[in-house]
A = this chain, B = another copy of it.
């Protein structure tokens, strides 16, 4: 009961070559989000490390590192000779993890605001303005 993805399966992952953020981290963040948001469902077969490496124009080792990290987090399941699958995660656990990165980022933003002595109103205004750009 593992869904097979087509051979040419393409993950919507975008690499920003300009960014100082490490490659494996960029890929990891996006793949993690795809799983936690349910865009990749349980049991889905991911591209092989070689395929994804080719797609993202990076080394096989780099992709392997991403898969390793996500497996350590319990989001992926790897079987030698077979491939790498989206692991079973409890609905509860997934919901918990889904927003954790967002909450952290919001907290960080608010702390940045407090460091420059933003008022509550000032922060809210910045937030709402940014939201209008993203959810018009």
**Main SS class of interface, A:** helix
Stoichiometry (number of copies): 4
Q: List CB contacts (< 8 Å) of A11-27 with chain B.
A: 22
Residue pair B116, A130 in contact (C-beta under 8 Å): no
Q: Bin chain A's interface residue count.
A: 35 or more
Residue pair B102, A112 in contact (C-beta under 8 Å): yes
Compute how far the CA of A126 lies from the CA of B110 in the bound complex, rounded to whole angstroms: 12
Q: With A37-B115, A72-B72, A115-B29 as given contacts, are A106 and B134 in contact (CB-CB < 8 Å)?
A: no
Q: With A22-B80, A72-B72, A130-B107 as given contacts, are A113 and B102 in contact (CB-CB < 8 Å)?
A: yes
A5 contacts partner chain B, Cβ-Cβ < 8 Å: no
Residues of A with Cβ closer than 8 Å to B? Answer: 22, 29-30, 33, 36-39, 72, 80, 98-99, 101-103, 105-118, 120, 122-124, 126-127, 130-131, 134-135
> Which among B102, B108, B111, B127 is the interface contact of A118 at CB below 8 angstroms?
B102
Q: With A72-B72, A120-B135, A131-B124 as given contacts, are A105 and B115 in contact (CB-CB < 8 Å)?
A: no
Q: With A106-B127, A110-B134 as given contacts, are A115 and B80 in contact (CB-CB < 8 Å)?
A: no
30 contacts between A and B (CB under 8 A): A22-B80, A29-B115, A33-B112, A33-B115, A33-B116, A37-B115, A37-B117, A38-B117, A39-B117, A98-B116, A101-B112, A102-B112, A102-B113, A102-B118, A102-B123, A103-B126, A105-B105, A105-B108, A105-B109, A105-B112, A106-B126, A106-B127, A107-B130, A108-B109, A110-B130, A110-B131, A110-B134, A111-B134, A120-B135, A127-B127
